[in-house]
C-alpha cells in the first residue's frame, strides 16, 4: 500500500524523532535510592554527583528510603533505578543466598539472583572497601569479661544487654549465625536500626553492653570501643557495588555509564569509606558537601 507523499514524510519524521528520544544520545533521569544510614547515603550521593557532572539528571527521592526490605522491591519495581548495595549482605539478607568471605563469589552469586529480578538488574564493579557487621563493646566491658572475639561472648551472653539490628531475627548472617555457629541466643535484646545513631547511643549511654555496628563506624574509634573479632568468619565480604536496572542501562550508553561509576568505586578503599562515614556522622558535614569534596579531590569533578 502506498502512502501519500506528505503522510509518508510525516511517518519518516516520527520514526526519526522516536529514535532521537529513545536512543543512546539522550540521558533519561535516573532515580537513585539507598538504605537509611549515613554511609550508604553518602555513597549514593557520590554516584549521583558524578553522573550529574556528566550530563545526567538525578532524582534523589529514594536516597535514605528505608531498609533493604523496602529498597530492593523499589529497585525491582522501577521505583528507583540504582542503589549502592553491600554485596554479601544483599545476597544473604536480601535474597536468602549463601554469602561467603570472598568478594568475587558474592558478586557472582548476587548477579545470578538479580538476572531474574525486575526484568534484570546489573551488579557493577564493587569497591575495594568493605564494611562488615560488627559486634562492639565498651573497653571496660571487654576488660571485665576478657572479650576479644565473638566466641568469647557465648559464656557471658546472659550477663550482658544486647542491641542488635532490627532485621536480626530473620537475617541469616545475624541471629542464625550467632545461634548456630557461636551458640549465642541472648535473652536481653533490644532491636534497633543497623549502624544507627540510636544503636551507638545505647552503647555509649550504657543502656546496652553489646551493640551491632558497622565495622567502619566512626563512633568505634571516637569512643575507644572494642570491635570483637568474628573468629569463625560468619560475616560476608561486604564490598559496595551499584545495582542498576537493565531497562535503564538500555536507554543510555551502557559502557560509558558503567565506567563512570566503576572508576569511582575503584577509588574507595576501606579507610576512605570510613572517613566519608566519619565526616557525615561525627563531623556533621552535609552529605552533598562531603561527596562533592571527595569527587573534586580525586579529579572526578571540577
- Of 167, 196, 227, the position where a domain reaches its end is 227
Residue 199 covered by a domain: yes
Q: 5 pLDDT exceeds 90?
A: no
CB of 296 closer than 8 Å to CB of 290: no
pLDDT, position 194: 83
pLDDT for 10 beyond 60: no
Structure confidence at residue 19 (pLDDT): 34
In a domain, 7, yes or no: no
Are 108 and 183 contained in the same domain? Answer: no
Contact in structure between 228 and 135 (CB atoms under 8 Å): yes
Residue range 58-95, pLDDT digits in tens: 999 999 999 999 999 999 999 999 999 999 999 999 99
Domain residues for the domain of 196 are 133-227
CB 24 within 8 A of CB 253: yes
Based on the domain organization, do 177 and 260 belong to the same domain?
A: no
In a domain, 302, yes or no: no
List the CATH number of the domain containing 207.
3.40.190.120
Whether residue 110 sits in one domain with residue 257: yes
**Tally of domains within the chain:** 2
Q: Is residue 6 part of a domain?
A: no
Do 300 and 50 meet the contact criterion of CB atoms below 8 Å apart? yes
285 and 255 in one domain? yes
Q: 84 and 101 share a domain?
A: yes
Whole-number pLDDT of residue 97: 94
Confidence of residue 197 (pLDDT cuts 50, 70, 90): confident
Residue 18 within any structural domain of the chain: no
Instruction: Look up the CATH number of the domain holding residue 77.
Output: 3.40.190.10
Q: Say what percent of the chain tops pLDDT 90.
A: 86
Q: What is the mean pLDDT of the chain?
A: 91
What residues contact residue 230 under an 8 Å CB cut-off, 6+ apart? Answer: 132, 134, 135, 149, 150
CA angle 204, 211, 287 (to 5 degrees): 75
Distances (CA, A) of 26 to 12, 48, 208, 248, 251: 20, 17, 53, 12, 8
* Same domain membership, residue 249 and residue 217: no
Amino acid at each position: 500500500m502506498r502512502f501519500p507523499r506528505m503522510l509518508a514524510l510525516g511517518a519518516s519524521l516520527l520514526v526519526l524523532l522516536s529514535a532521537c528520544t529513545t536512543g543512546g544520545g539522550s540521558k533519561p533521569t535516573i532515580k537513585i535510592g539507598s538504605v537509611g544510614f549515613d554511609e550508604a547515603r553518602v555513597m549514593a550521593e557520590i554516584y549521583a554527583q558524578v553522573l550529574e557532572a556528566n550530563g545526567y539528571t538525578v532524582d534523589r527521592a529514594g536516597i535514605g528510603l528505608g531498609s533493604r526490605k523496602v529498597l530492593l522491591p523499589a529497585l525491582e519495581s522501577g521505583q528507583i533505578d540504582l542503589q549502592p548495595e553491600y554485596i554479601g549482605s544483599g545476597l544473604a539478607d536480601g535474597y536468602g543466598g549463601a554469602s561467603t568471605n570472598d568478594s568475587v563469589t558474592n558478586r557472582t552469586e548476587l548477579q545470578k539472583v538479580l538476572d531474574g529480578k525486575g526484568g534484570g538488574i546489573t551488579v557493577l564493579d564493587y569497591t575495594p572497601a568493605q564494611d562488615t557487621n560488627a559486634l562492639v563493646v565498651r573497653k571496660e566491658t571487654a576488660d571485665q569479661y576478657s572479650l576479644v572475639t565473638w566466641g568469647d561472648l557465648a559464656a557471658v551472653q546472659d550477663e550482658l544487654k544486647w542491641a542488635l539490628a532490627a532485621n536480626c531475627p530473620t537475617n541469616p548472617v545475624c541471629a542464625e549465625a550467632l545461634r548456630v555457629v557461636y551458640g549465642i541466643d541472648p535473652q536481653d535484646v533490644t532491636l534497633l536500626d543497623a549502624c544507627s545513631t540510636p544503636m551507638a547511643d545505647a552503647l555509649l549511654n550504657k543502656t546496652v553492653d553489646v551493640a551491632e555496628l558497622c565495622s567502619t563506624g566512626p563512633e568505634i574509634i571516637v569512643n575507644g570501643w572494642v570491635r570483637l573479632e568474628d573468629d569463625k568468619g560468619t560475616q560476608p565480604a561486604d564490598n559496595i557495588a551499584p545495582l542498576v536496572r537493565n531497562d535503564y542501562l538500555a536507554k543510555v550508553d551502557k559502557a560509558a555509564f558503567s565506567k563512570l561509576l566503576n572508576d569511582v568505586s575503584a577509588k574507595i578503599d576501606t579507610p576512605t569509606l570510613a572517613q566519608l562515614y566519619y565526616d557525615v556522622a561525627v563531623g556533621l558535614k552535609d552529605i552533598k558537601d562531603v561527596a562533592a569534596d571527595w569527587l573534586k579531590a580525586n579529579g572526578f569533578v571540577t
